[in-house]
């Protein structure tokens, strides 16, 4: 079975021009077929603040009203996505920038209101793996931003970690999938005050214990929930670390294990 490497890069790494430059070089050198998923919450928040808006996050997830949805579309699908695609093209990686609406790759439903109204936030319903596979086999490297659609004309803001895990799960039908979550830290930390306290292997049992002890930060919860779900549904390998993780010879990261 052909190997597929799926990398998700977070907003903080996107903001650091030096780190992003090196990341794009390293990502371009990954052998075989690959997919990049990027966030951009920090950039969206910065733009919203400049426009006098104050985005709200609950348990690491963004509340998206109509104005903040417009900002997300402008930031994620526009500025960030196209700069990343241009950077990959510079490094001879034939990238193509996408939202979930493009080629109907990711369908979602607006999150129902229970205790919290998240606004225009989408929960992934279906990933069209055949369409993504067609792009991969045609020689393209898909670059997805954190936007999906409901097939009725509505763009929906969707957690980038979730987008990455759902694509990874869908692609296991025909690929051996390795999922790499890159963000600003070296991995999952046992002590949030010590950036070198990287947990080398995080199992389900240890994760549950850390949750009870309050060790895991709120912002890390959606990422780890997606990791364990992806492993349970066929993704072969999942690692969490900073952008250096995809370079050769770097072995400081957290490996997620069931």
Domains annotated on the chain, with CATH: 3-257 (3.40.1160.10)
- Classify strands 57-58 and 147-149 as parallel, antiparallel or unpaired: unpaired
Distance CA 160, CA 38 (A): 6
Tell me the average pLDDT across 11-23.
Answer: 87
Q: How confident is the model at residue 130 (pLDDT cuts 50, 70, 90)?
A: very high
Give the closest residue to 194 by CA, choosing from 213, 217, 227. 217
Mean pLDDT of the chain: 93
Q: How confident is the model at residue 60 (pLDDT cuts 50, 70, 90)?
A: low
Residue showing tokens 């072995």: 251
What is the pLDDT at residue 62? 77
Residue 156: beta bridge partners? 148
pLDDT digits 0-9 by tens, 131-170: 999 999 999 999 999 999 999 999 999 999 999 999 999 9
pLDDT digits 0-9 by tens, 87-106: 999 999 999 999 999 999 99
């Amino acid at each position: 079975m052909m190997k597929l490497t799926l990398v998700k890069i977070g907003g903080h790494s996107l903001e650091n021009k030096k780190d992003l430059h090196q990341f794009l070089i390293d990502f371009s050198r990954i052998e075989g077929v690959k997919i990049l998923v990027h966030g951009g919450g920090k950039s969206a928040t910065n733009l919203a603040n400049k426009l006098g808006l104050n985005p709200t996050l609950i348990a690491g997830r963004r509340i998206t009203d109509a104005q903040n949805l417009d900002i997300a579309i402008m930031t994620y699908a526009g500025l960030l996505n196209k700069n990343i695609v241009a950077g990959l093209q510079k490094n001879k990686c034939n990238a193509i920038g996408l939202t979930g609406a493009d080629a109907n790759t990711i369908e979602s439903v607006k999150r129902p209101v229970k205790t919290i109204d998240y606004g225009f936030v989408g929960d992934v319903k279906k990933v069209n793996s055949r369409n993504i596979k067609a792009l991969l086999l045609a020689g393209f490297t898909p670059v997805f931003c954190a936007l999906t659609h409901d097939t009725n004309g509505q763009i929906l803001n969707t957690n980038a970690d979730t987008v990455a895990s759902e694509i990874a799960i869908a692609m296991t039908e025909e690929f051996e999938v390795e999922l790499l979550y890159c963000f600003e830290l070296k991995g999952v930390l046992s002590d949030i005050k010590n950036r070198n306290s990287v947990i080398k292997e995080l199992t389900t049992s240890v994760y549950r214990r850390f949750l009870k002890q309050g060790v895991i930060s709120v912002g890390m919860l959606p990422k780890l929930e997606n990791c364990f779900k992806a492993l349970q549904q066929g993704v072969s390998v999942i690692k969490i670390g900073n952008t250096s993780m995809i370079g050769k010879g770097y072995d400081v990261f957290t490996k997620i294990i069931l």
